Amino acid sequence: MDIFTRTACFIKMDKRFHLIVSTFLNICFLNSWKLSMAVTGIMMVLAQPLSAQDAEGGIKGMVRDAVSMIPLDRVNIIVLETTVGAVSDNNGRFTVSGLKPGEYYIRASMVGYESLQMPVQVATDSFTRIDLDLRHASILLDSVRITGKRPERDLIAIPILEPRGLDAAHSTVTVDEIRTQGSRTIIEALKYVPGGLIETRGRKVKQFFSVRGQKYPYPDYAINGIWQKEFHELPYFFSSSEIESIEIIRSSAALLSGLSGLAGVIDLQTREYDSLETALELEYGSFESFHGQLSNGGKFGGFSYAAGAGYDRSGGPDGMHAAEKMMNIHGRFKWEPVSSLSIAGNVFHMNGMRQLTKAVPPADQRYIDFIQTYDPLITTLANLKTYYRPATWASTELQLFYAGRKPVFIDEVKETLTKEHDFEWGLNLIQSLAVSPSNTLRFGGLYNHWLAPDGKRFYAGRRCDTETISFVAADEHRLGPAVFDAGIRWTRTFLNEYGAFNIEGSDGAFRNVDPITDEWQSPVIQVNAGVTLDLKNEVILHLHAAFGQIKPREGSLDTALNVPANESRLKFDLGMIKSWKRGSRLVLSPFYVRQVNAIVYSGQTYQDPVSGKIMELYENRDQDQYGIEFETRTGSMLNLLSFFYNITLMNSSVLTGGERIRDREHPELITNGGIFLARSGFDLNLFCKYVSGFENERFADPALGPQPLGDYFTMDLTGGYTFDPWRSLRVYLNIINLTNRKYSTVVGYPDFGRRIKIGARLVI
């Protein structure tokens, strides 16, 4: 019987299907008071038990150290009162199959750790995903205390791990959270990260993501630990369908993952399949939006692969010139010919179109009048990672990367078309050595060559050809319950030819200025140091400090039409992490940042009299920022309910005229929360976000000055039902901005309001 016939038969059998469809239609088309009744209807259906089926399912998951979150291998997994079980692999993953639907108790055990036992609900014809976090054991026998020593962070296995002193400032968005939130892009998946703010605009870069107010530059991006340059134009198009997790270093002190570590790093971990799987996603919603994604992956011995293709489109609100569409293709492989060697590669290709959203008052009139489009918008990314471990005490990781971008910018008012081709390639080498049982040294270098033959964005028409080299060294030493770390990164760029905005004192139009050629820029240095202390009762304390410089983004100009000075930044991170059984966790993280010659947007622009292009101007100023973050997250309670909550309080000040005043360009409060309910195939998830007020004059009418932004509370609701007898078929509803609040994070570009999406995901 084919898939469509089986679905039709089941719909006839299950009357609850009609109730669900009716509820979804109510949510889509009724007004606010009926919306509340519809949500209540879903909650009532949650309480209805469903009969078990005879088809078999299973359990998949990962076993980790409860404190360090490092995956554990060779952990015994047993399903109690059955004859089935499994052992976790080198990545901490395990799979148990052949289970009939129902509730089971699973036990994980390993020498040196406390055994963990927890209930798991197994569905029909699908795999339930769980994470098991084990705590190291302490056992008393007469007068002898035997302490099982948990594995330390394995810097030989993962050479690019950031310093442990930053653990309290580390966030992870898992694949389950991405799907529960209904996120379709990387930017959407980052919405509820502690201290995270998404600035949405209609200009050449549509959305910027920042944490703790860290801007200019914004946080770097990496893919599987491989640094990406000029990536900020992609996250709002980059599909999250093939992402296993997103690792975010919220602190401005990341050392190994990128060259702008003093602004934070976002690392995208692509999915690696451990069994054969095919998934199909279809979704339709407001503004004629459509999402379709087909994915396939599998593993055969030492070889695994993943492949996917997707298409997304949206018409945008009427009259806003906000239509966009994007096709994406992804391929990944990993090959382990021998136990000491692995080779992994990724290819991403995107091809689409994006209209630049029209601004509304109080934006400057020129932004209101703009009618501009990127068509086509083409990007190809490729990387290759080779990992070699000849001995237990040494490893080498070599990363090769390439990126090519070919956007075509169309100004429909001026009737001009500009091709903005640029590409880059490079390599990164990291060597990790355990010089003693308690001391690990890592060192390496990076090379990047970026070429824009005809310029790019604001400086289209001016050739850019730069080469960057960087060297890094990091040392981590364990001494009893304490871990000390220190590191340094040195970076320098050579300008083969650079026109852009480097006027160097001239106040004439930049098109009439000779480019800089064959010239070294000043080196940029970053120094880190930290200490971590493991206390009893699964409490860990962190202290970390960093000092370094941030170079202004290539092509920047200050208000005098000169290149802005490098920013010097000093930062401190404190942290306390408390963990409990079943994944519950509490994190407290105070931070302080001191910026000298901080690179900030001035609110002024410069229009080239020859080309007519408008450039944003920056300035240098001294400013301070301090704050505290609190985050709590629970594991599953009663196998039904879990929740998370985080809050970031910040105080930003700036030195102006010899007086330190509050910097009103940053919100003082950002808080997020979520509640997850799941029972008998139903799930209901509510997300909330509040951002306090701030102000900015970017894109604003100059006569009006800084405009109020932020001060908004939004709610997102997702709910779904996973059908019997196919537990792998989920039909869902997403409501974004439930309260229909037209808030703004950038002057002139308010949120589009409430959006509703209905979709389905089938896994076979």
* CATH (domain of 526): 2.40.170.20
Residue 641 — pLDDT band, cuts 50, 70, 90?
A: confident
* CA 615, chain centre distance (Å): 29
Helix axes 32-46, 16-29, angle to 10 degrees: 160
pTM above 0.85, yes or no: no
Lowest mean pLDDT among 26-30, 234-238, 429-433, 434-438: 26-30
| 555 part of a folded domain | yes
Residues 229 and 264 placed together within one structural domain of the fold = no
Residues 209 and 236 placed together within one structural domain of the fold = yes
Residues 352 and 243 placed together within one structural domain of the fold = no
Of 151, 179, 213, which one is at a domain's C-terminal end?
151
Of 108, 126, 151, which one is at a domain's C-terminal end?
151
State the greatest distance between any 2 C-alpha atoms of the chain, in Å, as a whole number. 87
| 175 part of a folded domain | yes
- 381 is in which domain, residue-wise? 249-763
Lowest mean pLDDT among 79-83, 607-611, 699-703: 607-611
Pairing of strands 422-436, 341-356: unpaired
What per-residue confidence (pLDDT) applies to 51?
Answer: 35
Q: Is the pLDDT of residue 170 over 80?
A: yes
Contact 223, 258 (CB under 8 A): no
Residue 115 — pLDDT band, cuts 50, 70, 90?
A: confident
Measured at the CA of 575, the angle between CA 572 and CA 580, to 5 degrees, comes to 165
- Beta-bridged to residue 363, according to DSSP, are 700
Of 222, 248, 274, which one is at a domain's C-terminal end?
248
Residues 229 and 258 placed together within one structural domain of the fold = no
Counting beta carbons within 10 angstroms of the beta carbon of residue 658, is it exposed (0 to 12), middle (13 to 18) or buried (19 or more)?
Answer: exposed
Residue 736 — pLDDT band, cuts 50, 70, 90?
A: very high
Phi, psi of 609 (to 5 degrees): -65, -20
Residues 680 and 724 placed together within one structural domain of the fold = yes
| 140 part of a folded domain | yes
Q: Which tokens sit at 606?
A: 């410069």
State the average pLDDT over residues 27-45: 36
Residues 630 and 699 placed together within one structural domain of the fold = yes
Among residues 11, 2, 29, 38, the alpha carbon closest in space to that of 684 is found at 38
What does the alpha-carbon distance between residue 757 and residue 312 come to, in Å, rounded to a whole number? 13
pLDDT one-digit tens code per residue, 219-253:
989 998 888 888 888 899 999 988 989 999 998 78
Residues 225 and 268 placed together within one structural domain of the fold = no
State the average pLDDT over residues 663-685: 92
Mean pLDDT of the chain: 84
State the average pLDDT over residues 282-306: 95
Q: Is the pLDDT of residue 560 over 50?
A: yes
What per-residue confidence (pLDDT) applies to 610?
Answer: 65
| 107 part of a folded domain | yes
Q: Is the pLDDT of residue 13 over 60?
A: no
Q: Is the pLDDT of residue 556 over 80?
A: no
Residues 404 and 289 placed together within one structural domain of the fold = yes
Lowest mean pLDDT among 87-101, 126-140, 426-440, 509-523: 126-140
Residues 672 and 701 placed together within one structural domain of the fold = yes
* CATH (domain of 63): 2.60.40.1120
| 157 part of a folded domain | no
* CATH (domain of 222): 2.170.130.10
| 29 part of a folded domain | no
What per-residue confidence (pLDDT) applies to 508?
Answer: 55
| 315 part of a folded domain | yes
Residues 239 and 272 placed together within one structural domain of the fold = no
| 733 part of a folded domain | yes
State the average pLDDT over residues 420-439: 93
Residue 732 — pLDDT band, cuts 50, 70, 90?
A: very high
Q: Which tokens sit at 559?
A: 């208000």
pLDDT one-digit tens code per residue, 171-205:
999 888 999 999 999 999 999 999 999 999 988 88
Share of the chain above pLDDT 90, in %: 50
Residues 721 and 655 placed together within one structural domain of the fold = yes
Q: Give the chain's domain count.
A: 3
Residues 364 and 239 placed together within one structural domain of the fold = no
Q: Is the pLDDT of residue 402 over 90?
A: yes
Q: Is 181 helix (H, G, I), strand (E, B) or coil?
A: helix
Q: Is the pLDDT of residue 16 over 60?
A: no
What per-residue confidence (pLDDT) applies to 758?
Answer: 97
Q: Is the pLDDT of residue 39 over 60?
A: no
Contact 124, 101 (CB under 8 A): yes
Most trustworthy range by pLDDT among 50-54, 216-220, 706-710:
706-710
